[in-house]
Structure 1
Amino acid sequence: MKEGPNIAQIAALIGDPARANMLTALMSGKALTVSELAGEAGVTLQTASSHLAKLSAGGLLRQRKQGRHKYVSLANDDVAHVLEGLMGLAAGAGQVRTRTGPKDPALRAARVCYNHLAGDRGTQMFDSLVARGHLIIDDGHLHLTPSGSAYVRDLGVDLDGLTRGTAPLCRECLDWSERRSHLAGSLGRALLARFEDLSWVRRHKDCRLVTFTPTGTRAFDKAFPVASTRRSMGAPAHQ
């Protein structure tokens, strides 16, 4: 096929192992320095700079200088959405890393997917909002219902501010570990930020891990109950 988007070029950029490691590291949503990304990829600074230049030219990264350092982040939500989808595809095809560390179960429970909540907690929130009619899927698109608008406002989210922005309010993102959807878009980002403000969660500086406090666990389970829904879907109730 000679017409249309050149997916081969984007696939080639992501497909290099060193570049894939860099992109995965940036899924934490934080900007990292070139030296930090070189460490993630296991390459020299010079090689890392070359890889980052290619990713930036391909529209996957954004680089900016602050003082003596150059910071790198994913270009936008669309890049993160594609990467999370590829992670799910790889996991479903059995293409998983053989070396798992002590953080692996915790990452599957709750982690950052660029700027929103993912893992078991992320899918719990999504399932709960859908089950109670706060989110609906219509014509392939995710929408916040009037009851959902009232609910997230009660949680302290500035919904009016979100709707004035240009980013999509609600997006479905396939969770790579749960193989089900979690909530992305500006609402997903705002909810995670709100959980941090309420001290329900703590984000780790060196990885994508999100830890719920004991108070946060109780409050989250009360705000997003899904036990009966998951049983009816054949999934285990959240513990």
Structure 2
Amino acid sequence: MGQHNISSVAHLIAEPVRSVMLITLADGNAMSAGALAQAAGVTAQTASSHLAKLLDGGLLSVESKGRHRYYRLAGAHVSHVLESLASIGPVTPAWRNTPSRSAQALRFARCCYDHLAGQVGVAVTQSMLTRGFIVETGERQYALTAPGCEWLQQLGIDMGDAGFDHADHARRCLDWTERQYHVAGPLGARLMDAFLEWGWMQRSPTTRSVTVTALGWDGLNRHFGIARESCGPD
């Protein structure tokens, strides 16, 4: 049964149109069938067929608002699978040095479902490790330390209901462009929410990329020791 499930899911993800749709939804937002058809470069009828298969396969969920239907990933576990697949194999020099501004923006900072990824996400995680706010506790986990809890409270980040008592409150997520880990799980999501709420970062309305504002660079430098030039071009 498990082997059958793996082959079925792999078949769904492997189809190029469906893979584009899934990656487009990997920031956790919901999109209409029309928007996903445009992103994948197919007709509405073709998109509808692919979306039905992704729904049946458990990779997507759908909600109706009036006459419109909006699709999103079925959960963070689907995004984790997509990021893990993307991290297999080398990132070629051609991709790293691509002149494409959209590709550069994604590598610099992007949403990985509900948390921060890319060069900035890795830099934030490394800073927290260096300062002893988190520690590695296994192949897949970080753990928030007592100084880390105090630091978050000083920043004004509420920790009361975020599942920090669970062992997976700070998951290690392999960044597919940087080949280093960034922090995910409830802690990663809470940090991303705070960065957006404080006006440090802004999400693109059309892609997964994230822009760091002038206020954000000041905050990242002050609280994480991250300078703009240390993360590559914005």
CA RMSD, aligned part only?
Answer: 2.7
- Comparing 136-145 with 99-108, greater Cα deviation is found at 99-108
Is 1:85–2:84 an aligned residue pair? yes
CA deviations over 1:144-199 (Å, ceiling 9, x no partner): 11111111222222111102798942111111111111111121111111111111
In structure 2, the CA distance between the partners of 1:19 and 1:95, relative to structure 1 (3 Å rule), is farther
**What TM-score, normalized to structure 1?**
0.86
Q: Distance in 2 between the 1:192 and 1:59 partners?
A: 26
* Percent pairwise identity: 39
**Counterparts of residues 93-108 of structure 1 (less than 5 Å):** 101-108=100-107
- Comparing 155-164 with 87-96, greater Cα deviation is found at 87-96
Give the superposition deviation at 1:74. Answer: 0.6
The aligned residue for residue 178 of structure 2 is 178
- Comparing 44-53 with 17-26, greater Cα deviation is found at 44-53
The aligned residue for residue 63 of structure 1 is 62
What secondary structure is seen at the aligned counterpart in 1 of 2:196?
helix
Q: Is the 8 A contact 1:127 1:226 kept in 2?
A: no
Q: Is the 8 A contact 1:167 1:186 kept in 2?
A: no
**Counterparts of residues 30-179 of structure 1 (less than 5 Å):** 30-92=29-91, 101-140=100-139, 141-163=141-163, 168-179=168-179
Q: Distance in 2 between the 1:209 and 1:199 partners?
A: 15
Q: Distance in 2 between the 1:42 and 1:97 partners?
A: 25
The aligned residue for residue 233 of structure 1 is none
Give the superposition deviation at 1:60. Answer: 0.9
Q: Is the 8 A contact 1:60 1:74 kept in 2?
A: yes
**What TM-score, normalized to structure 2?**
0.88
**Counterparts of residues 205-224 of structure 1 (less than 5 Å):** 205-224=205-224
Q: Is the 8 A contact 1:107 1:119 kept in 2?
A: yes
Q: Which amino acid aligns with 1:200?
A: W
Q: Distance in 1 between the 2:166 and 2:49 partners?
A: 32
Q: Distance in 2 between the 1:165 and 1:30 partners?
A: 27
**After TM superposition, where is structure 1 displaced by more than 3 Å over at least 4 residues in a row?**
2-5, 90-100, 164-168, 236-239
Q: Distance in 2 between the 1:12 and 1:94 partners?
A: 29
- Comparing 11-20 with 207-216, greater Cα deviation is found at 207-216
- Comparing 3-12 with 128-137, greater Cα deviation is found at 3-12
Q: Is the 8 A contact 1:90 1:96 kept in 2?
A: no
Gaps of 5+ in 2: none
Give the superposition deviation at 1:94. Answer: 8.3
Give the superposition deviation at 1:106. Answer: 2.1
Equivalent pairs, count: 230
The aligned residue for residue 231 of structure 1 is none
Q: Which amino acid aligns with 2:19?
A: A
CA deviations over 1:28-70 (Å, ceiling 9, x no partner): 2210000111111111112111111111111111111111110
In structure 2, the CA distance between the partners of 1:95 and 1:47, relative to structure 1 (3 Å rule), is farther
Q: Which amino acid aligns with 1:186?
A: P
Q: Which amino acid aligns with 1:78?
A: H
Q: Is the 8 A contact 1:174 1:182 kept in 2?
A: yes
Q: Distance in 2 between the 1:5 and 1:142 partners?
A: 32
Give the superposition deviation at 1:225. Answer: 2.4
Is 1:203–2:197 an aligned residue pair? no
Q: Is the 8 A contact 1:84 1:176 kept in 2?
A: yes
Q: Which amino acid aligns with 1:14?
A: I
What secondary structure is seen at the aligned counterpart in 2 of 1:179?
coil
Gaps of 5+ in 1: 228-235
